[in-house]
């Protein structure tokens, strides 16, 4: 039985293409933000795509898809979500609609909309 994932297969394909098929090439991001916790919130893997936009893969989805636990020390580096938000602050400002909700969760929702939905990420 296929695992239930919160991200699209297109996101997974883009992630592994950018990571050259190996999650160890990605950055492990530990969730440390002060936003309200939503279901699905938590640590995630991040890698810039071919266009430098971030590709985010929630840790639970990565582990379910690969069928293995991700050891954060195996990844290219570890950063906290506050650092990620600072690094991409201008892009997040352009891509998100609410300053009260977690920008990472907003991006995950935008990245994983069904095909044909209006709106794209800048």
CA distance 47 to 56: 7
Helix (H, G, I), strand (E, B) or coil at 55: strand
Tens digit of each residue's pLDDT (9 = 90 or more) over 30-73: 988 777 666 667 899 999 999 999 999 999 999 999 999 999 99
Q: pLDDT tens-digit profile of 11-27?
A: 999 999 999 999 999 99
Q: Which residues 6+ apart lie within 8 Å of 31 measured at CB?
A: 41, 42, 43, 44, 80, 81, 104
Task: Return the SS3 of 96.
Answer: coil
Domain residue ranges of the chain, discontinuous segments joined by +: 9-111
Alpha carbon distance 121, 111 (integer Å): 8
pTM: 0.85
């Amino acid at each position: 039985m296929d695992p239930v994932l919160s991200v699209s297969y297109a996101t997974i394909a883009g992630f592994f293409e950018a990571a050259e098929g190996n999650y160890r090439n990605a950055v492990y991001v530990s969730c440390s933000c002060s936003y309200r916790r939503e279901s699905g919130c938590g640590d995630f893997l991040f890698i810039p795509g071919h266009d430098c936009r971030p590709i985010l893969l929630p840790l639970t989805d990565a582990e379910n898809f690969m069928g293995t636990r991700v050891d954060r020390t195996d990844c290219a580096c570890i950063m906290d979500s506050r650092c990620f938000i600072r690094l991409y602050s201008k892009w997040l400002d352009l891509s998100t609609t609410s300053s009260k909700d977690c920008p990472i969760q907003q991006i995950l929702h935008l990245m994983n909309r069904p095909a044909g939905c209006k709106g794209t990420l800048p």
